[in-house]
Structure 1
């Protein structure tokens, strides 16, 4: 027997996912302020971002191996991780420029996000088994929008160099950090209080190492997983570099506002991609979006000096397509993996993908400090090119 889904379930999960994942790139949005007020080195941008990614990898493995979202109500796990992540984020105000403390806090936030993003997806999957493809697009779109939110808050609060507001003597960037923390706590409370466990929810199977071999040996699983790896080479480096790219043409609050819209465009990419799946299929949608974002990488030398309207359109298109294929790769892997090990395959795939993003972030942030962006950005296209090559078997009849 199927259970009717209350209408409020999906909006609450989406808004909670949006709120909780705003912790992910909170430090990136205020990095110029930290470099100005605390004298952080330029390379701290990549190092602090990599700490979150590594924390997420560790957290994903720990949560999966311990099966925490099965042993305890998923909504309570979501709440605990959102609250603890918010406290770690707010604790950044006490770091006083000590990079080691910041790194520890960011790693902890990444670890706790493994109890927000994947657990939120698990809750949604329990309620929306029949419409999971479309729901996945909206949920990952909410993740993307949450990633962009701190940049939007910084644009509203001011950049510290012009007109801005303060509350209780706090600087604008400090208000941004606290606002993100408050929002994450609100998202955790909403899920815990308004989204009950599904009465027929199934427990996940235990993680098995043999899924690692399946990732390579199964032709169709290999195609979707390695396509995802190519996507991850580009995605998070793009998110980190967006403010640097926009700073070549904009200044002050406009950089933060532009970063919000460029990264947030991924929400539209995820939702529209989900709507196109019925007509084109997940593999074709992933191919189109990956090819478009790869083309945006290669077009960087021309677009960086293009007229401003064309430059802005390029950034929005890149932001929409670099994230828009994420739900499709998850869907393809879930469809192609044997049901008995699908959870293990997805867990290991996510961990490897985020480890690839750490390498990519370190490479491209350091490269951007040495060479012009017109030279650096086309190399992001290596990931989409390899991803398209590996994805090809899923596109053949």
Structure 2
């Protein structure tokens, strides 16, 4: 998955290389998101995760992502670069949700922790570009080359993974299953909870550095803001692991509700503190707490779907859920700078808090649904 974050790590150098504005270069980041959505929608509609061998899809997606990422080295400008970033995201739609499915058929006991570790690794990867920037950056060609090589290696490794002891036989081609799987019964409520979670997640990850640079507003902000962002994002890897442990032992519904109430509460507290003009140390402390809990429940939504969806179309349901979630992130990411300019950062944090509060309500409803009996931890 490393090509997802490769351009973000060197965005300043790419702007200089291709002589583009900050607004135009923002599409290099957003294109991956939108490409992933397009790839996930197509994959779910074709039921690819349930009709083709998972390791083949993961290898194919990884190799295409590696090639598209490496092509940035010869791209003539930002327009071609944006197209390549969209292709990278579309290819990774064959990696992320399919890997979730593949791991779920290898684990019954400890499934929440297994998926939590996987999402925690992705979270840690998301923090690395900010760490690179905070430490002085790296040559963009080296970053692109290394991340492309890592993606290709990951694809090759995927070919060695066995299908798993609980793998279902190839499913029949049913395009309507993609929408039906995430709108009915317990899976529909879990998807609504996931949407509430995603509303705040990528908006925080994308814009926290801008927000905190404004809080610092001193000569050291250019270095300190990226390092603070790396901490706020990276601490979520620990949150994912704890979320997996609690999800397995305490119940996934309880864990997701707790995590969203804590992350939503942290967002509201940050809104109040920002309005009151609190100092950077206190704001960063609350933000780290937010960063820990904002992602702690992420893998558990996928785990719930893997447990209660139609076993023949688990991959389709997981892919469709991710497609909806990442579509929503594009909206919240675009909303943040508009709202910050019109009403300030306190309003941004208050609006972001609405997502997890709605998600907590949906998961509470799921806890009373008959499908809850099949979730790890039962109705808890």
Other-structure match for 1:386: 358
Other-structure match for 2:139: 172
Q: Is the 8 A contact 2:191 2:321 kept in 1?
A: yes
Q: Distance in 2 between matches of 1:52 and 1:251?
A: 27
* 2:309 matches 1:337: yes
Residue by residue over 1:223-249, the C-alpha shift from the partner in whole angstroms, topping out at 9 and shown as x without a partner, is 211111111111111111122123222
Q: Distance in 2 between matches of 1:35 and 1:100?
A: 12
* 2:127 matches 1:148: yes
Measure how far apart 1:354 and its partner are. Answer: 1.5
* TM-score normalised according to structure 2 size: 0.83
Q: Map of 1:225-304 to 2, 5 A cutoff? A: 225-248=191-214, 249=216, 251-304=221-274
Q: Distance in 2 between matches of 1:199 and 1:328?
A: 21
Q: Is the 8 A contact 2:69 2:88 kept in 1?
A: yes
Count residues in correspondence.
362
Query: Against the structure 1 CA distance between its residues 43 and 378, is the aligned structure 2 distance closer, same or farther, given a 3 Å change threshold?
Result: farther
Other-structure match for 1:78: 58
Q: Map of 1:345-360 to 2, 5 A cutoff? A: 345-360=317-332
* 2:289 matches 1:309: no
Query: Against the structure 1 CA distance between its residues 341 and 175, is the aligned structure 2 distance closer, same or farther, given a 3 Å change threshold?
Result: closer
Other-structure match for 2:4: 24
**Equivalent of residue 149 in structure 2, options 182, 186, 189:** 182
Q: Distance in 2 between matches of 1:182 and 1:110?
A: 16
Measure how far apart 1:309 and its partner are. Answer: 3.1
Measure how far apart 1:48 and its partner are. Answer: 3.2
5+ unaligned residues in a row in structure 1: which ranges?
A: 1-20, 160-170
Q: Distance in 2 between matches of 1:176 and 1:285?
A: 37
SS of the equivalent of 1:25 reads: helix
Q: Distance in 2 between matches of 1:200 and 1:353?
A: 27
SS of the equivalent of 2:21 reads: coil
Q: Is the 8 A contact 2:111 2:248 kept in 1?
A: no
* TM-score normalised according to structure 1 size: 0.80
Residue by residue over 1:265-285, the C-alpha shift from the partner in whole angstroms, topping out at 9 and shown as x without a partner, is 121111101111244310111
5+ unaligned residues in a row in structure 2: which ranges?
A: 369-378
Measure how far apart 1:386 and its partner are. Answer: 1.8
**Equivalent of residue 106 in structure 2, options 127, 130, 140:** 127
**Superposed CA RMSD:** 2.8
